[in-house]
Structure 1
């Protein structure tokens, strides 16, 4: 005879997994805000911009944003720490590190 399944334990495991995934999503969104430099905006400005983005129905705009986002993830504009030297987006060649030589595109 087969052992009966413990549905309560399975449901709890699924709920825990769902909670873990939500936590990871929130953390990754926060990291994205920081990496893009949007953390310099106030919460109200950021929320307003995101609302406008979410409400936009123009497919052309969304496609342009998607291309720019894909370039961000591929390119060297991705940064782990805020790098605001007053010179927007351009870094000297010696400080680029290994990532600048591995990315064939993305000279800002």
Structure 2
């Protein structure tokens, strides 16, 4: 005999997952606003700019914005990589001891 499905539990699990995904999305959007410096704008200005962007149908403008976004993320990842390399190089000199393994290694 088959075990009956608990639809209420499955629905609750899906709702929890959806809530978690929405929370993560909101957090990532907030981080993006801060990373780009857009948190310096007023909320009205930022909302107006986003509305204008979403209403834009000009594909050339949208492609230009996309390229600029790619360049932003690439330059940002290069800066993060360079900073981590500087930190790794300076760690033994600061500690005065033997170099230790980077703490960023291991399973994620």
- Normalising by structure 1, we get a TM-score of 0.71
Counterpart in 1 of 2:76? 76
Counterpart in 2 of 1:9? 9
1:11-90 aligned at under 5 Å gives the runs 11-76=11-76
- Identify if the C-alpha distance between structure 1 residues 22 and 46 changes in structure 2 by more than 3 Å, giving closer, same or farther: same
The runs of 4+ residues in structure 1 deviating greater than 4 Å are 77-80
Q: 1:76 deviation in Å?
A: 3.0
Residues 72 and 78, structure 1, Cα contact 8 Å, conserved in 2: no
Provide the rounded CA distance (Å) in 2 between the counterparts of 1:79 and 1:32.
16
Structure 1 unaligned residues grouped into runs of 5+: 81-95, 101-108
CA deviation profile, 1:79-106 (whole Å, cap 9, x unmatched) = 89xxxxxxxxxxxxxxx62479xxxxxx
Q: Compare 55-64 and 68-77 and name the one that shifted more.
A: 68-77
Q: 1:14 deviation in Å?
A: 0.2
* Structure with more relative contact order (C-alpha pairs < 8 Å, separation 6 or more): 1
Give the number of equivalent residue pairs: 85
Provide the rounded CA distance (Å) in 1 between the counterparts of 2:76 and 2:63.
21
Bigger share in helix: 2
Larger radius of gyration: 2
